[in-house]
Amino acid sequence: MKPKIALCLDTNIFLNLFESGKHDVMVFNKFLTSILMRHCILVIIDQVKVEWNRHVEKNQEEFLLKTTNTIESHKSLLNFLEQEEEKQKLDNTIESIKRLEKRRYKFFYGKRAEKLKQLIDDKTHTQFIDRTPNAEKLVVNFAIDKKAPFFSNELNGAKTKIKTEAADASIFFTLYDNIMNGNIDYEKIYFVTDNKKDYSKPENPSCIHDNLLFYATNANIIFSNSIEGVLSEIFPENLPINDYLGPLDTLYLTDPYFEKCPLCNEEVHINGDSFIGAGPPHEQTYWLKCRCGHEWDTHDLVHDIY
């Protein structure tokens, strides 16, 4: 059955869903449950997909590099120790912390990114939308007229009044025009962003900008900059929220839960990166899959586990 609600997300929501300190695991699981249990359809604007592909790997690499450098900086303390044994002990501790934090990010937040990748490419639960000629025309008109919120900065204290947010304009007007031409047809259509300035009134970030109000009203777009609030409206209170990430206990980040990929030497989690191989039920074994794409048989029989 076709869902009655459509959820269109700005790129920053997708990126923040796997960024440490942005959205907690309950929000992530509620989001996935809402889509996969068909409480709503996920609308993917072409510009959002472009930006997602551009930033998803880059953001993870930058976070890991920043974290690693921060931890590495503590090795300067080694210069204050005289005994080699003490130096070695501190160095080992720092390396252990670095390894643990890398694992924590990759297997807590990296797993979120993998789930989002799968969802964005899942045609069963998403509707992919292309930019239309009329959407392009609306973007150009706003740019020529230097209209806020995309092409004029109204915020107090701004160093310049000029803005160039053509990508945000493209996302909004692509959604608008596809609703107006009937390509997106649902009882309720939410547009949600984590951005507090590029679509909103300068004095009230929770309200859509006056220059966009006409379009939002005509297309019945419900604007919000709170994904938590929207999910509370979409998701029935009495239904359970599925857990798509598994246990997040630090115990599962210790050495016994990891193996090295024989191809690239990256760490692979024996639970989080495992799947059941093909074959008759009594012969099926667990396989491991690395992020590099390499797969290998552990030779552990599935029925032995039970």
43 and 5 in contact (C-beta within 8 Å)? no
Q: What percent of the chain has pLDDT over 70?
A: 96
CA distance 60 to 13: 15
Are 135 and 283 part of one and the same domain? Answer: no
Residue 187 and residue 67 in one domain: yes
Q: Which two tokens stand for residue 219?
A: 């297309």
CB atoms within 10 A of CB 20: 12
Q: What is the mean pLDDT of residues 100-123?
A: 91
Domain that holds residue 273: 254-305
Instruction: Give the span between the Cα atoms of 150 and 171, in whole angstroms.
Output: 11
Q: Does any domain span residue 246?
A: no
% of the chain residues with pLDDT over 90: 72
**Above 90 in pLDDT, residue 38?**
yes
Q: Is the pLDDT of residue 159 over 70?
A: no
Question: Does one domain contain both 59 and 113?
Answer: yes
Residue 247 included in any domain:
no
Q: What is the DSSP letter of 276?
A: E
135 burial type by CB count under 10 A (0-12 exposed, 13-18 middle, 19+ buried): buried
In a domain? residue 285: yes
Does one domain contain both 228 and 259? no
Please give the Cα distance from 151 to 144 (Å, whole number): 9
Determine, yes or no, domain membership for 128: yes
pLDDT over threshold 70, residue 32: yes
- For residue 85, give both structure tokens: 């044994």
| DSSP state string for 167-211 | HHHHHHHHHHHHHHTTSS--SEEEEE-S-SSSSEETTEEEEE-HH
Domain end, chosen from 234, 263, 296, is at 234
CA-closest candidate to residue 266, choices 289, 248, 250, 286: 289
Q: What is the pTM of this model?
A: 0.86
Query: Are 168 and 295 in a shared domain?
Result: no
Q: Do 154 and 16 belong together in one domain?
A: yes
146: left (phi > 0), else alpha (psi -120 to 50), else beta? left
Q: How many CB atoms lie within 10 A of CB 297?
A: 10
Given pLDDT bands bounded at 50, 70 and 90, which one contains residue 237?
Answer: confident
pLDDT at 157: 56
Same domain, 58 and 167: yes
The residue-averaged pLDDT of 202-215 equals: 95
In a domain, 265, yes or no: yes
Question: Would 78 be classed as within a structural domain?
Answer: yes
pLDDT of 12 reads 96
- At residue 88, what are phi and psi to the nearest 5 degrees? -65, -40
Mean pLDDT of 96-113: 90
Are 12 and 92 within one domain? yes
Burial 94-122 (b: 16+ CB within 10 A, else e): beeebbebbbbbbbbbbbbbebbeebbee
Q: Rounded CA gap, 180 and 199, in Å?
A: 19
88 lies in some domain: yes
| Mean pLDDT across 223-241 | 94
pLDDT the model gives residue 160: 60
217 and 298 share a domain?
A: no
**In Å, how far are 154, 199, 215, 223, 293 from 208, measured between CA atoms?**
14, 6, 10, 6, 43
pLDDT number for residue 153: 79
- 281 shares its domain with 138: no
pLDDT of 156: 55
Number of domains comprising the chain: 2
pLDDT for position 46: 97
| 221 touches 189 (CB < 8 A) | yes
**Tokens standing for 204?**
């009230």
Instruction: Please give the order of strands across the beta sheet that includes 126-129.
Output: 126-129, 41-45, 5-9, 188-192, 221-224
Asked whether residue 118 is assigned to any structural domain, the reply reads yes
Whether 225 and 278 share a structural domain: no
> Both 208 and 286 in a single domain?
no
